[in-house]
C-alpha cells in the first residue's frame, strides 16, 4: 500500500514539475503573470525563467524515472528533493531577512514548501525500504 502511494506521489510530483517547467520554457511571460506572487519578486526575466524551467523539467524527470526504476529510486528521488528543499528554505530566508513578509509563506506553501516535504516523505520511505531489502538474506 505505502509503496504504491509513494510511487503515485512521485509520478504526480514528476508530472507537475515537468508541466511547470514546460510552461516556463514555452510561455515564460504567461508563467510570470499567472503564478501568484512571482511579479513581486522582481522584474520579468525571460532567460532566468527559462533556466529555472529546465531545472523543473529535470526535477520532474528524476521523480518519474525513480517511479519506474526501483534500483535507482533513492538517488532519483533524493536529488530533486534536495533542490526543492533548498528552494523552500530560500523562501523562508527571504522572510527572515525582511525581503518578504510572513504572508508569503502560506501563499507559497502549495507550490514551494509542500513539494519539498512530499519529496522527503517518499525519499525517506524508499531509503528505509531499500535498507530492509538489502538486509533480507537471499535463499
Q: How far apart are CA 122 and CA 118, in angstroms?
A: 6
Instruction: Take residue 20 and report the three cell numbers written for it.
Output: 511547470
Instruction: Please give the model's pTM, rounded to 2 decimal places.
Output: 0.91
Q: Which residue has the cell 516535504?
A: 117
Report the percentage of the chain scoring pLDDT > 90. Answer: 89
CA-angle at 123, arms to 133 and 1, nearest 5°: 65
- Could you read off the pLDDT of 112-135 as tens digits, one per residue? 999 999 999 999 999 999 886 555
SS (H, E, C) 83-107: HHHHHHHHHHHHHHCCCCCCCHHHH
Instruction: Give the pLDDT confidence of 32-62 residue by residue, as tens digits.
Output: 999 999 998 899 999 999 999 999 999 999 9
Question: By the 8 A CB rule, do 77 and 126 touch?
Answer: yes
Range of the domain at 124: 2-135
Q: How many domains does the chain have?
A: 1
Are 62 and 132 within 8 A, CB to CB?
A: no
pLDDT score of 136 more than 60: no
Amino acid at each position: 500500500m505505502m509503496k504504491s502511494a509513494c510511487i503515485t506521489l512521485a509520478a504526480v510530483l514528476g508530472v507537475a514539475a515537468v508541466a511547470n517547467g514546460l510552461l516556463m520554457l514555452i510561455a515564460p511571460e504567461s508563467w510570470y503573470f499567472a503564478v501568484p506572487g512571482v511579479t513581486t519578486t522582481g522584474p520579468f526575466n525571460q532567460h532566468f525563467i527559462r533556466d529555472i524551467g529546465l531545472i523543473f523539467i529535470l526535477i520532474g524527470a528524476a521523480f518519474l524515472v525513480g517511479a519506474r526504476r526501483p534500483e535507482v529510486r533513492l538517488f532519483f528521488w533524493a536529488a530533486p528533493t534536495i533542490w526543492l528543499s533548498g528552494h523552500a528554505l530560500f523562501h523562508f530566508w527571504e522572510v527572515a531577512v525582511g525581503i518578504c513578509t510572513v504572508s508569503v509563506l502560506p501563499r507559497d506553501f502549495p507550490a514551494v514548501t509542500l513539494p519539498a516535504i512530499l519529496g522527503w516523505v517518499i525519499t525517506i520511505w524508499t531509503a528505509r525500504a531499500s535498507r530492509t531489502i538489502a538486509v533480507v538474506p537471499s535463499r
